[in-house]
Amino acid sequence: MNKMLNKVPEVTLFFWIIKILATTVGETVADFLSETLKFGLTGTSYIMSAVLLIVLIIQLKFKKYIPGIYWTVVVLLSVVGTLISDNLVDNLGVSLATSSIMFGSALVVVFVGWYLNEKTLSVHDIDTTKRELFYWAAILFTFSLGTSAGDLISESSGLGYSYATLLFAGIIGLVVLAYYYLKLNAILAFWIAYIFTRPLGASLGDLLSQPVKAGGLGLGTTITSAVFLLTILSLVIYLMIKQKHTQLQGLKTE
């Protein structure tokens, strides 16, 4: 059964902060590579998909949670998920509404397959390779769905980046309240919040990076990507040091 230690981090405030930062980076890095560096949407997709595949293979080889590798996979999935959505919309002419439905349906299929095989969708039990593959497939489609849905609401609807950011933050806030005060199922609450952090991050990324005339703050994709990547790096290094300290404390008490 290829049993291992749980391969994903504990769901804490740090988890959600890094997740939102990673989703923002997914939006800005994809734009930075394809537009600023002129790799183009197709070229960027090939490059980032290859890098993701390599890092994901490394992640799958380990038998426990390694913060640096895990969050690298999340950031790369965020970028690739964005690129998949952008390719469908920009290169193939699929509408944002249609792509949102497609990714939403794909996510449902993953969840159904995961539950039928494992009888749980809990992220506290990612301790076999099969469960981990279901987990990463779900993460990928949450990123693609969030990109399409986020763009649909913030751009096509005319809501704008700032109001879209507030809208998605408000939805996540309601989920938190429902979990703590209305006893919303923990697994359901996690996945709803996880899905909505993607459009929140995408809208935040666009708000910071897009030109003022387009409704953004004009920081550009280079500055926004650099600041967020450095912040993620700092937090992941902190978590790695904390994990090492916890392991040493555990050895001392044995």
Tell me the two tokens of residue 240. Answer: 């790695």
Secondary structure of residue 127 in the 3-state scheme:
coil
Instruction: Kindly report, residue by residue over 30-44, the tens digit of the pLDDT.
Output: 888 888 888 999 999
pLDDT tier at 178 (50, 70, 90 boundaries)?
very high
Cβ-Cβ contacts under 8 Å for 69 (sequence gap 6 or more): 55, 58, 59, 62
* CA atoms in the 13 A half-sphere facing the CB of 233: 6
- List the chain domain ranges: 13-253
Instruction: Kindly report, residue by residue over 182-212, the tens digit of the pLDDT.
Output: 999 999 999 999 989 988 887 888 888 888 8
Helix/strand/coil (H/E/C) assignment for every residue in 28-42: HHHHHHHHHCCCHHH
pLDDT of residue 250: 60
- DSSP annotation of 182 reads S
Name the residue with higher pLDDT: 125 or 246: 125
Tell me the two tokens of residue 248. Answer: 């040493």
